Amino acid sequence: MKLPIGVRSLLLQLASLILTYLFLLLLKLALNVSLSFNVALLLHCFIAGSCALILRFDWWWSVIQFFFPLLVCFFYSQNIPSYFYLFGLFILSLLYWSTYRTQVPYFPSKPSLIEPIRTLLPIERDFAFIDLGSGMGGLVLDLSRLNFFGRFYGVEIAPLPWGISVFRALVRKIQVKFYFGSYTDLNLSDYDVVFCYLSPAAMPALWFKVQQEMRPGTLFLSYEFIVPGVEPDLCLETASDSAMLYGWRI
């Protein structure tokens, strides 16, 4: 069983710290040379970043691995009260929740997606649309405001974004429903259009679920990330950047 990326990243930091300590110890015993704390810290950062590349982590993880020890030392030197860290951990836990398990970070949908998705929705019949990983609900709320025939849903596993989306729907008095939990627990046969903005790691398993559950004639949409080895039926440009909206007709 493959460990979640967050766990592997933590283990890599610990392994890099051990390697740094062993190198410093060897340097001291063999050459009687001692490095300053700052030099040793940079050495640890270099080892952590290099190991991430060697172990074929995505490139941004090498950047994270390099700068993480520097940030830890910086905040430690500021003498910030410990309860600030506890509060920060609490907020980040509510926001990112099970990212370590799902390998899907928080990606807020962009306003530029509204128009291309709207053009793909049925305009003269009832339909059901769901956003898998709906975040703070912006996409679902905006689409529901523009289309009177559809029923709009979102599902979000992180408590803080889900709570914000429910609050926004109540304040704006929009008839949408946001489920709290994982999209893996839903039956996709209930929906005519399924949209996601997840991560490359999630796409193979989600595509299997789509094939098993979505009905013929329905539409599966993914922003930016494709299904590996499966040619999309639709490729639409968005207004804000070079990322594409991909679609597969079931």
11 lies in some domain: yes
Q: What is the pLDDT along the chain (250 residues), one digit of tens a residue?
A: 456 666 778 889 999 999 999 999 998 888 888 889 999 999 999 999 999 899 888 777 888 889 989 988 888 888 877 777 777 666 666 556 655 555 555 566 677 888 889 889 887 788 999 999 888 889 999 999 887 788 999 998 888 888 889 999 999 888 899 999 888 899 999 999 999 988 888 889 999 999 999 999 999 999 988 999 999 999 888 765 667 899 999 9
Which pLDDT belongs to residue 237?
A: 81
User: Are 239 and 123 contained in the same domain?
Assistant: yes
User: Are 15 and 126 contained in the same domain?
Assistant: no
User: Are 143 and 73 contained in the same domain?
Assistant: no
User: Are 186 and 227 contained in the same domain?
Assistant: yes
Which pLDDT belongs to residue 7?
A: 73
User: Are 74 and 117 contained in the same domain?
Assistant: no
Domain interval for residue 74: 5-79
User: Are 66 and 137 contained in the same domain?
Assistant: no
Q: How many Cα atoms occupy the beta-carbon half-sphere of 144 within 13 Å?
A: 22
88 lies in some domain: no
Burial of 241 (0-12, 13-18, 19+ CB in 10 A): exposed
44 lies in some domain: yes
DSSP code, position 201: G
Which pLDDT belongs to residue 104?
A: 53
Q: Are the CB atoms for 147 and 127 separated by under 8 Å?
A: no
Which pLDDT belongs to residue 20?
A: 92
User: Are 36 and 129 contained in the same domain?
Assistant: no
Q: What total of structural domains would you count in the chain?
A: 2
- Say which residue the tokens 């980040």 belong to: 92
